[in-house]
Chain A
Amino acid sequence: MRRRKRYEAILNTALCFCALIILIPVFMVIINSFKNQTEAARMNLKLPTTWHIFENYKEMIREGGIFRGFLNSTIITVICVLLLIILCSTMAFVLERRKTFFSKLIHMTVVFGLVLPLQIIPTYFVCNFLHLTHEIAAVFVLIVANMSFTVFLYTGFIKSIPIEIDESAWIDGASHTQLFFRIIFPLLQPVTVTAVIINFMAVWNDFGISIYFLNSARNYTLPLTVYNFFGNHNSDWQLVFANVVLSTLPVAIVYLILQRHIISGMTSGAVKG
């Protein structure tokens, strides 16, 4: 028993050390965003000798276009997540319920997108050909990039909804749209919450796709403003750190409030498979 207690104590200490590996960099960024230029360039963990909270953040906000980025990120993320939920839940419903050879084939093709990477250059051609603006192209490509997983998630859940529910609604005279939106969609609520979380995180934090499509300070999302801010200010570490802190803050706050939902939501697809 005593040996077990000692073992637990050692294990807990080791775990806390691991936690420090995560927390020290976070602390370093925050504390250095409060320093003046020369002190911040040393990038150590000491407290600042003089605090420059307001100057740093004010200057960074003035030059970094961070509010514009926040606004763009919010608009793009909200549109993408809403469309993903509606498009993918309906697709999953039809493809799962039809059970014909053709519908299974389509379903397989859609889910295959989980493995296959998006062919970004030809996608750019398509957007060019359709004369889409950069913002709309980014929205469509971000939707398609997250579609396979969302459909996959919904299909798994729809399988567990008894088909008798559909039949009784059909007999009561519901049309196929009524059947889906009035009866089925409300039942999908748990998986919808998960899908919202996963897609929100994926779109909000996206950099790999948006860097191809968003190309001016006017349409940059938050990750792109941070990327470009560093490009222009790579010797002003205090401003870079302030930029990192402020751009990460919204998502960090949401994470701390909803941590349990976010953790289980982001990993749920990989647990059951």
Chain B
Amino acid sequence: MHSTTLKRYSYTLAIPGLLLYILFFIIPAVGGLALSFVKILGFNLSSARFGGLQNYVDVFTQPNMRRAIGNSFIFALVTTIFKMGIGLSLAIALNRKMALTNALRTVFFLPAVINTVAVGLIFSSLLHPSNGLVNGFLRAVGLGGLAQSWLVDTNLAIFSVCAIEIWKWSGFTMVILLSGMQTIGRDYYEAAEIDGADGVTRFKYITFPLLLPAFNNALILSIIGGLKVFDLIQATTQGGPGSATEVFGTLIYKSFGAGRLGEGCAASIILAVVIAGIALPAYKYIANREVEM
């Protein structure tokens, strides 16, 4: 019996996909680890010499690298907090029957389908120090003092980039949470109403616990996405001014462009370890606290 099952589901069907995965994911993952210990010039494998931990030392002693680690964490943390906060507020506000709901949902989700480069350019214009709409608005309402050189100021730039990411993805988080809320049965709320629970109590004891699976997924997606960020930064500031918005992604791209491939691999491996180190325990911890539906 068992052998017919195995014949019925022969690996031949899966081989093309697995082959691609091995060639372009597994081998690079293992090879990347190996290359991170190798000093190499460009793509010339014959120039490769074992370098021990030299690449890691180089990466960590670069001033850019410390900036990149810090910025990646700031970016992941700030965007996650705001995306979850804004997404949750919007989801709660839209989780009722009214004519506007559909139109608003469509609008809030719109930035998620626009490509990152276009979004980056739109915000390069909006955040332009002298002519941008954001500063123009602040001056028009008499808050000219708050006008900033958003993407140019070295202390502010990373937060401005965070704001763009929040603008793009809050609607996406909202939809995940909204769909999660709509799977919660009406009878829970009816029972709570009979017991005299008010809105806050209902949220705390019914909505939120039952929303946790969707909430966790959105949270993990956001943290991982935040640590991996590359395209938005590349499209707006390219890691600049100076190294003010440098993150792992831009650092790897720069080492690639400069032919410092071993260093790029080392940075890439560090990122992978950081992500695995954060995402897996976080997921396990939160998953254990989920309420069974």
Residues of A at the B interface (CB closer than 8 Å) are: 8, 11-12, 14-16, 18-19, 21-26, 28-29, 32, 41-45, 87-88, 90-91, 93-95, 97-100, 106, 109-110, 113, 115-128, 130, 140-141, 143-144, 147, 151, 166, 170, 176-177, 179-180, 201, 204-205, 207-208, 211-212, 222-224, 226-227, 230, 237, 240-241, 244, 247-248, 251-252, 255-256, 259, 262-264, 266-268, 270-273
Q: How far is the CA of A18 from the CA of B86 in the complex (A)?
A: 10
Beyond A122-B32, A125-B35, A126-B23, whether A19 also contacts B104 by CB under 8 A is yes
* Interface check B226, CB cutoff 8 A: no
Beyond A180-B13, A244-B118, A273-B214, whether A263 also contacts B125 by CB under 8 A is no
Cross-chain contact A88 with B17 (CB below 8 angstroms)? yes
Give the residues in chain B near A141, CB-CB below 8 Å. 24
Beyond A29-B122, A93-B9, whether A144 also contacts B128 by CB under 8 A is no
Give the residues in chain A near B191, CB-CB below 8 Å. none
Give the contacting residue for A87; candidates B12, B17, B32, B280; CB below 8 A. B17
20 A-B pairs in the complex with CB atoms less than 8 angstroms apart: A25-B126, A44-B136, A88-B17, A91-B18, A121-B268, A143-B20, A147-B21, A207-B231, A208-B230, A212-B256, A223-B115, A248-B115, A251-B115, A255-B110, A263-B105, A266-B112, A266-B172, A267-B176, A271-B176, A273-B214
Give the contacting residue for B256; candidates A120, A179, A222; CB below 8 A. A120
Beyond A110-B21, A119-B265, A270-B176, whether A25 also contacts B122 by CB under 8 A is yes
Give the residues in chain A near B218, CB-CB below 8 Å. 270
Give the residues in chain B near A42, CB-CB below 8 Å. 131
- The tally of CB-CB contacts under 8 A between chains A and B is 268
Cross-chain contact A25 with B133 (CB below 8 angstroms)? yes
Cross-chain contact B108 with A264 (CB below 8 angstroms)? no
Beyond A45-B133, A115-B275, A263-B175, whether A271 also contacts B32 by CB under 8 A is no
Cross-chain contact A115 with B118 (CB below 8 angstroms)? no
Give the residues in chain A near B175, CB-CB below 8 Å. 263-264, 266-267
Give the contacting residue for A116; candidates B21, B93, B124, B276; CB below 8 A. B276
Give the residues in chain A near B125, CB-CB below 8 Å. 28-29, 32, 43, 237, 240-241
Cross-chain contact B234 with A121 (CB below 8 angstroms)? no
Cross-chain contact A94 with B14 (CB below 8 angstroms)? yes
Give the residues in chain A near B7, CB-CB below 8 Å. 176
Q: How far is the CA of A212 from the CA of B261 in the complex (A)?
A: 13
Give the contacting residue for A144; candidates B8, B12, B21; CB below 8 A. B21
Q: How far is the CA of A97 from the CA of B122 in the complex (A)?
A: 47
Give the contacting residue for B107; candidates A22, A41, A248; CB below 8 A. A22
For the A-B complex with A211-B231, A251-B113, A270-B217 known, give 17 more contacts whose Cβ atoms are closer than 8 Å. Answer: A12-B98, A19-B104, A25-B123, A43-B128, A87-B16, A110-B18, A119-B32, A121-B265, A122-B28, A125-B35, A125-B45, A126-B24, A147-B20, A147-B21, A208-B231, A262-B113, A271-B179
Give the residues in chain A near B221, CB-CB below 8 Å. 270
Give the Cβ gap from B189 to chain A, nearest Cβ, in Å: 16
A99, A115, A126 pick with most chain B CB within 10 angstroms = A115
Beyond A95-B14, A263-B105, whether A226 also contacts B115 by CB under 8 A is yes
Give the residues in chain B near A14, CB-CB below 8 Å. 93
Give the residues in chain B near A126, CB-CB below 8 Å. 23-24, 27-28, 31
Q: How far is the CA of A265 from the CA of B79 in the complex (A)?
A: 23
Give the residues in chain A near B20, CB-CB below 8 Å. 87, 140, 143-144, 147
Cross-chain contact B43 with A128 (CB below 8 angstroms)? yes
Give the contacting residue for B25; candidates A22, A118, A270; CB below 8 A. A118
Cross-chain contact B26 with A44 (CB below 8 angstroms)? no
Give the Cβ gap from B177 to chain A, nearest Cβ, in Å: 9
Give the Cβ gap from A273 to chain B, nearest Cβ, in Å: 4
Give the Cβ gap from B178 to chain A, nearest Cβ, in Å: 9
Cross-chain contact A119 with B131 (CB below 8 angstroms)? no
What are the 3 tightest A-B residue pairs by CB atom distance, in nearest-first order?
Answer: A87-B17, A119-B32, A122-B28
